[in-house]
Amino acid sequence: MSGLGGLNKSPNGVVIGLAQLQLPDPRTREAIWTQTQKIVAMVGKARRNNPGMDLIVFPEYSLHGLSMDTSPDIMCSLDGPEVAAFRAACVEHRIWGCFSIMEFNPDGNPYNSGLIIDDKGQTALYYRKLHPWVPVEPWEPGDLGIPVCDGPNGSKLALIICHDGMFPEMARECAYKGAEIMIRTAGYTAPIRHSWKITNQANAFCNLMQTASVCMCGSDGTFDSMGEGMFVNFDGTVMVEGGNRVDEIIGCELRPDLVREARKHWGVENNIYQFGHRAYVAVKGGAQDCPYTYMQDLMEGRYRLPWEDEVVHTDGSSCGFAPPTRRYKA
């Protein structure tokens, strides 16, 4: 089904490229702009690499690197020059693009944001990371929910970022809102390799959804990101898997029409449907209650683990961040 990395595109196919971008370390506005030009050049490489490619995906931190620097002078905005350059590149090369920015927030810490831009230069999807990787990341918790957009060739796309993918609720929400392909961008380093693989597979299988995931790649002199672009089919099987070669684009043809077919016709393991219709063999339509205590408690604002008082890391002080004093306002 991968169509030899997307070289043999079918009428119903969506060809996605995952860019295992070299991990940068920009610390100034000028360096951010230099890295912007690197990403723009990679958009052109993607088009030359495969004329049938529909969407090129860049990892989380592809613009800012892993410094966790929150200085306002290197943050981006949706109407800033970096995003404008990404839009222009998508138009010039007639390709969709998925990009990562650290977004200035006048009311708190910056957001870790992702954008999907179509081949006309328009924003198709805008997302702020819901689950920053604590205690390491200082980003403001996302406040836009999990949007889904219409993608190339009639597909439905969702975007989550890195640590988001460790929470099964995130992928379930993407599928529940109609996503057939879930993109996961990341800056993960090698210690997360096993968790990366099994969650990409589980997120696909548990929701009858195809997943396309990619990390930054190579070293910035301090951190070593792992690359390892990965496409997983809706049955949980790995379709295409990359290694750790920097700036390599891993390609695959995905078939959202087959996702739709499985969601309609599967009886066994149609988990995304059966979750809300449990035991439909025994009772008409299945039970549609919410038997999960953690969901009920989360809704009521009383989520609390049995071992809550024993948790050691509850702020970012172990990673050099001062304990916050602001309360979150939804």
Catalytic residues: 60, 129, 162
Helices 168-176 and 193-205, interaxial angle, to 10°?
30
262 burial class (0-12, 13-18, 19+ CB within 10 angstroms)? middle
DSSP-derived letter for residue 38 is: H
Tokens of 25: 């370390």
Most distant CA pair in the chain, distance: 64
* Residues 38, 298: Cα–Cα separation, whole Å: 42
281 φ/ψ angles, rounded to the nearest 5 degrees: -70, -35
82 φ/ψ angles, rounded to the nearest 5 degrees: -65, -50
Which whole-number Å values give the CA distances from 137 to 109, 114, 162, 250, 256, in the listed order? 11, 16, 11, 27, 33
DSSP assignments along 169-233, one per residue: HHHHHHHHTT-SEEEEEE--BGGGHHHHHHHHHHHHHTTT-EEEEEE-EEE-SS-EEE---EEE-
Tokens of 49: 């690499």
